[in-house]
Amino acid sequence: MKKFLLRTILFFGILLLLAWSADIWITHQFKKLESSPFGNWNDIYSSDIQSDVLIIGSSRAYVQFNPRILDSVLHINSYNLGMNGRAVESQVIKYHTYRRKHNAKPKLILFEIYQGTLDTSNGFDRLQFVPYLKDPVLWNDIRKVDGFSWADCFIPCWRYSHYKKDVKDIILGKSFYYCDPKNKLYKGFCDFDKPWDGSRLAKIDTIHYSRIPSAIHELDQFLRECQNEGIRVVFVIAPYYIGATQKIDDIDGMYELFYSITEPYQIPIMDYTYNPISCDTNYFYNNTHLNRKGATLFSLKLAHDLDSLHLIPGKEHNEPPKYVRKYDL
């Protein structure tokens, strides 16, 4: 009996050691990726982002706010924390991870908002969190959103068992979505040189804006936190294709909701909904996302508007920015 117990303990000990070693190796492979979204998270966990301007938001931030252009025009150091397919609660978790990992405190946050901001994330691109779930704080925060179990944090390799194909591809060194050179990031930004595709928009009759109470509370708490830390926040509504804007149900109600959130903190909204760029499909690859050409023009416009409106901390020319409910730009 004693020999059986020793063999059993030895067997499971070896199994645990192999699983632990495999977990470390697989995680290391993901942490070498420079493509979206892992390049972004790897920068955060390297604690080497020293930016005074952060961009937060959905994929409309991630593919439309170009730090290279913002930096060159405004002489700042910006970084894009945009998240593909994620609403405000995931965006705030990412920002808190950024701060907790001793990256630089920003002076300004450009917060991209749109009709899906005040929603809950639906599990899209869930794999992005998996290599970092050994961080118990991130695990505890994101499990409430994506349903990760205690085993995903504490049992070696368990978290990868749900993503066998992706793990197999990375083990074999295959080219797959997450290591596609087209998805390589520059300071969190990824531009897509794609032609217009209006097929998805053609199937949509009405676009509803989200207003989930927990998401509204999450955003309010975030804005309060920034106010207490002396971090300026500016909301930005990036261009939509006009055909999509016209399908938003009760767009005035959406604006009123955003105003009700921002006014206590005197946060301006830079609104590009009806900017001329919105009327030309040459600048979009679908109804809500600018292509490379459009993102370049928008980022240039955004940079010059931030400068002319004196919204960059330290560049106010002794004239503090006046609170304006909305800038139509």
Kindly list the domain boundaries of the chain, sorted by start residue: 50-125+190-328
Return all residues near 225 (Cβ < 8 A) that are at least 6 apart: none
Query: What type of residue sits at position 81?
Result: L
Strands 284-286 and 108-112: unpaired
pLDDT of residue 121: 82
pLDDT of residue 178: 64
Neighbours of 58 (CB within 10 A): 27
Query: What type of residue sits at position 216?
Result: I
Query: Among 126, 129, 87, 114, which Cα is nearest to 215's?
Result: 87
What token pair was written down for 56?
A: 């937060």
Spatial distance between the Cα atoms of 329 and 320, rounded to a whole number of angstroms: 20
pLDDT of residue 124: 86
CATH (one of 3.90.1150.10, 3.40.50.1110, 3.30.565.10, 2.40.50.140) for 50-125+190-328: 3.40.50.1110
pLDDT of residue 78: 96
Q: Which residue has the tokens 């990760």?
A: 148
What token pair was written down for 252?
A: 């005035």
Q: What are phi and psi of 212, to 5 degrees?
A: -75, 125
Are the C-beta atoms of residues 234 and 329 closer than 8 Å to each other?
no
Sign of CA dihedral 135, 140, 143, 145: negative
pLDDT of residue 275: 93
SS3 assignment, position 316: coil
Q: What is the helix (H) or strand (E) element at residue 289, kind and residue range?
A: strand 289-290
Query: What type of residue sits at position 17?
Result: L
DSSP state, 317? T
pLDDT in tens, the chain (329 residues): 666 666 666 655 666 677 788 889 999 888 888 887 888 999 999 988 999 999 999 999 999 999 999 999 999 999 999 998 899 999 999 999 999 999 999 999 999 999 999 998 878 889 999 999 999 999 999 998 998 999 999 999 899 988 988 888 887 766 666 666 667 889 999 888 889 999 999 999 999 999 999 999 999 999 999 999 999 999 999 999 999 999 999 999 999 999 999 999 999 999 999 999 999 999 999 999 999 999 999 999 999 999 999 898 876 555 555 555 666 77
Give the HSE-up count for residue 113: Cα atoms under 13 Å, Cβ half-sphere. Answer: 26
Q: Which residue has the tokens 């959103």?
A: 145
